Structure 1
């Protein structure tokens, strides 16, 4: 790959990640309204889709989902859980596998997928 082609690929990936992040922020914005009692299913689905897109874009950019880590907030959104619920499960040792880096839990998407699949199997879905 030539230098120009490689720079183009990196620029395209950065642009796509920026778009995905913008979609996530747009989806989260209405949920920050203090007058909104509880997000409805449609809003939650939009946020989850936007989070998945952002994670997928980051994975494509790095090229390896086994080594790409996401932080706590994206992990909760990726799993479709409220951050408090996700945090509670992790503190009780019932959350997905994580790696602690500088006191913060980081999750691979593979570990999150594995964890969600195990939950589905337990629930019989």
Structure 2
């Protein structure tokens, strides 16, 4: 059975300032407890193997979803809202993944090109959909 885990984390940046972030992970497991064990093992492994997680100091389970059947129509698996403008952040699709069974579609391959500006700042992403206000 497919399980999707949504996690948040605390990290300490190289200059010592606190940061936080979120990630999701999927796994096939027989039970929710088995899924939690697999997630835990994988997170510990990724902490030592990929640079994007090297500074992580705490990981929190936000929720774990059990998906007994793959839906025919899209399902939003996570929605989060925060006060204020979108904060500066970096996003990585499939960090540390070398698996032919899963693909990422989007701008991941061109992150540096699309996000970094000539002055070292970041370029805002273009909307996929804009709704009239």
> One fold, TM greater than 0.5?
no
Q: Structure 2-normalised TM-score? A: 0.27
Larger helix proportion of the pair: 1
Q: Relative contact order (alpha carbons < 8 A, sep ≥ 6): 1 or 2 greater?
A: 2
Larger strand proportion of the pair: 2
